[in-house]
Amino acid sequence: MPYTKSDLLRDLAAMGLTGRETILIHSSMKSIGDVEGGADTVLDALMEFFADGLLLLPTHTWKTVNDANPVFDVRTSPCCVGILPELFRGRPGVVRSLHPTHSMAGYGREAAAYLAGQELCNTPCTPGGAYDRLKDVGGKILLIGVTHARNTYIHSVEEVLNVPHRLTDAPVKLTAVDADGAPHTVYMRRHYNAQQPHISEDFVKLTQAYLDCGAAQNVRFGDAACTLCDARGIFEVTRHVLAPDPECIVTAESIPEERWK
């Protein structure tokens, strides 16, 4: 039998969530399994459950917005991180930030205020920006059917900790077009590491550290194996593990548990 909206609402409650959280969700729709009504039902469940909180989904465009295609239009630029964010950004009441490569869409409590000013950022996850602020507001991160390789928040932790060799030296000149059609010039550095072209793929090396330290727990949503994270906890564990060797996520083949136990 396909999952219903009621089934998905029960799964969220079983995670210990109240619906009042500020929560960022990275997702694989396919991993959830057969859902009556498909992706729209999943979004209905999420938006209903977190109606008294702040629901955030990434609506990134880093794959398509670059020096060859330098214009991001908040109204029309499709995101490159799955069907749920793509559908979510167009729903009534949803606000999308003006970050040209790493925008977020939000629904609920003070969404516009939380996402304001992202066109002033000059890196993907600038300290003080929408990703970094998750730790300051007691935010959660839910990974639905994806690993920490899709946990963009960890990029923001690295930026706050000033981990070297994570960003391009020179920025790219981009344009962010707002909801009124007004253009904003943005000079944006991009993620770059000469040793690892996809830095986030190595974030999975911290999976056990987060679980052992209570910063993350394994949960389920439909068929999807999920991870529910505490943003502050992720920040503290990452800071502790990286302290003696800031580049170890990329440079070390694995990270020994002695580093966090």
pLDDT of residue 6: 98
Give me the residue label for tokens 């969530």: 17
pLDDT of residue 109: 96
Helix (H) or strand (E) holding 143: strand 140-144
Over residues 4-23, the pLDDT tens digits come to 999 999 999 999 999 999 99
Tell me the mean pLDDT in the region 55-66.
98
Per domain, the residue ranges of the chain are 5-252
Over residues 143-158, the pLDDT tens digits come to 999 999 999 999 999 9
251 and 205 Cβ atoms separated by less than 8 Å: no
Global confidence as pTM? 0.97
C-alpha dihedral over 32, 141, 257, 161, to 10 degrees? 140
Give me the residue label for tokens 């609402």: 9
Tell me the mean pLDDT in the region 106-117.
98
What is the widest separation between alpha-carbon atoms in the chain? 53
